[in-house]
Amino acid sequence: MRDIADVAAVEVITTAAVHLMSAAAVKCGLGPDADGVRGVDLMDLDEARKLITALAGLVTASAPDIGNQHARSLRDGLRSLQLAFREASPFPDAPGEGPGEKLTGAVAPSAT
């Protein structure tokens, strides 16, 4: 195990963000099917909302310090989770009211 003093801040921040992303994805019902349990059966949108909002706070606050290369990837993952939450919700939030959107601005599907 590496000494925490040897770990760059950007690595700690991105690792924390990846953990939040992974947990939020599972809570949005996007986890893999395993051991007889379907990923969708693990959906808990109340928990997902909390995780996505925490992720939005971390990404928004750290973006100026971690550089565009890292921040862009984190923002893309965050946006994907915000859209997945909206899609999974039986009663989608109003634009700008979804998880983390007070920090990131309203998220809408891209027109493709």
Position 3 pLDDT exceeds 90: no
User: Which tens digit of pLDDT belongs to each residue from 85-97?
Assistant: 999 999 999 999 9
Percent of the chain residues past pLDDT 70, beyond the cut: 96
Position 25 pLDDT exceeds 70: yes
pTM equals 0.91
Three-state secondary structure readout of the chain = CCCHHHCCHHHHHHHHHHHHHHHHHHHCCCCCCECCECHHHHCCHHHHHHHHHHHHHHHHHHHHHHCHHHHHHHHHHHHHHHHHHHHHCCCCCCCCCCCCHHHHCCCCCCCC
